[in-house]
Structure 1
Amino acid sequence: MTEPHWVLGEIVVAVHQMLIAEHNGSPGIQDVGLLESALVRPRQIFSYDPKATIFDLAAGYGFGLAKNHPFIDGNKRTALSIVATFLEINGYNLDAPEPESVIIFGKLAAGDLSETELSKWLCDFSIYTA
């Protein structure tokens, strides 16, 4: 796989702020280190797993943001939005029903869904657009 387009940290923070403004919640970053860790996770997967798919990388963003809990509030919403953004800028449209997406990311944050299971779910609900 060629190197994908990555989501910049500034975009992640801006998306989080937009989601908090739209859906309410407490704004702000709880731990910058946890945010940085979440954002480097897909790059590490790309660097060290030659068999990684675009869905594995997207799952890396989702897992990192949902599990690290870098924001005061809105971590699951931000994780879902960033996963969808990452897929979109790399030629895929996440076409999952919103209620199911909420459940999936809730399970991910609670530890009831693995990163591998998220990757498979993303593959099942993504449409190639490029």
Structure 2
Amino acid sequence: MKEPLWLNQDEILAIHAELLDWFGGAGGVRDVGLLDAALQRPMNRFHYEDPSPSLFELAAAYTEGIVGKHPFVDGNKRTGFMAAYVFLGANGFDLVASEESAVERTLALAARAIGESEYAAWLTDNCDPSAAT
């Protein structure tokens, strides 16, 4: 697999700010080091795991990194989900899951009721391959 298009900190901060504008919540980064670590996680997996993870596993790593590390004051679950959504879109896949399914799965990941691999499988099952560009 060729190197994916990655999300950078400015993009994640913009996503986070937009989500707070839409849904409310306290703004601010709680720990920039944790945010950096969350954003490096999928890249490290891509470069150092053999075999390389799928795009869906990398997207799940973005979500898990943000949800698990809790770098923001508020909106971590929303931002974690949207990171996966934007990452998949930037790399040619359209996530077509219902809002209800997305909320349920992301809350389950946050509560540790499912793991990152189960979240990646859900992403795989909910991307429309015909929508890939």
Query: Shorter-chain-normalised TM-score: which range?
Result: over 0.9
Once the two structures are superposed, residues 1-50 of structure 1 have per-residue CA deviations (whole angstroms, 9 ceiling, x without a partner) of 11000011100001101101110100010111110010000001101123
Q: Which residue of 1 aligns with 2:16?
A: 16
Deviation at 1:116, TM superposition (A): 0.5
Indicate whether 1:49 and 2:49 are aligned.
yes
Which whole-Å CA distance do the structure 2 matches of 1:111 and 1:122 have between them? Answer: 17
**Number of the residue aligned with 1:77:** 78
Distance 2:16 2:100 in 1: 20
Tell me the amino acid that sits aligned with residue 93 of structure 1: D
Q: SS where residue 74 of structure 2 aligns?
A: coil
Q: Supply the distance in 2 between the matched residues of 1:56 and 1:23 (Cα, whole angstroms).
A: 27
Identical-residue share of aligned pairs (%):
39
Is residue 43 of structure 2 the alignment partner of residue 32 of structure 1?
Answer: no
Structure 1 segment 53-64 matched on structure 2, within 5 A? 53-64=54-65
Instruction: Quote the offset at 1:127 in angstroms.
Output: 1.5
SS where residue 29 of structure 1 aligns? coil
Kindly tell me the number of residue pairs found equivalent between the two proteins.
130
Separation in 1, partners of 2:89, 2:25: 26
| Structure 2 residue identity aligned to 1:84 | Y
- The residue type equivalent to 1:121 in the other structure is W
In structure 2, relative to structure 1, the CA distance for the partners of 1:83 and 1:6 (3 Å cut) is same
- TM-score norm. by structure 1 comes to 0.97
Regions of 4+ moved over 4 Å: none
Q: Distance in 1 between matches of 2:9 and 2:109?
A: 21
Shift of 1:77: 0.5
Q: Which runs of 5+ in 1 are unaligned?
A: none
Shift of residue 79, structure 1, vs aligned partner: 0.7
Distance 2:91 2:33 in 1: 26
Alignment of 1:86-97 (within 5 A): 86-97=87-98
Task: Kindly state the Cα deviation for residue 100 of structure 1 after the two structures are TM-superposed.
Answer: 1.1
TM-score by length of 2: 0.95
Structure 1 window deviating more from structure 2 (50-59 vs 79-88): it is 50-59
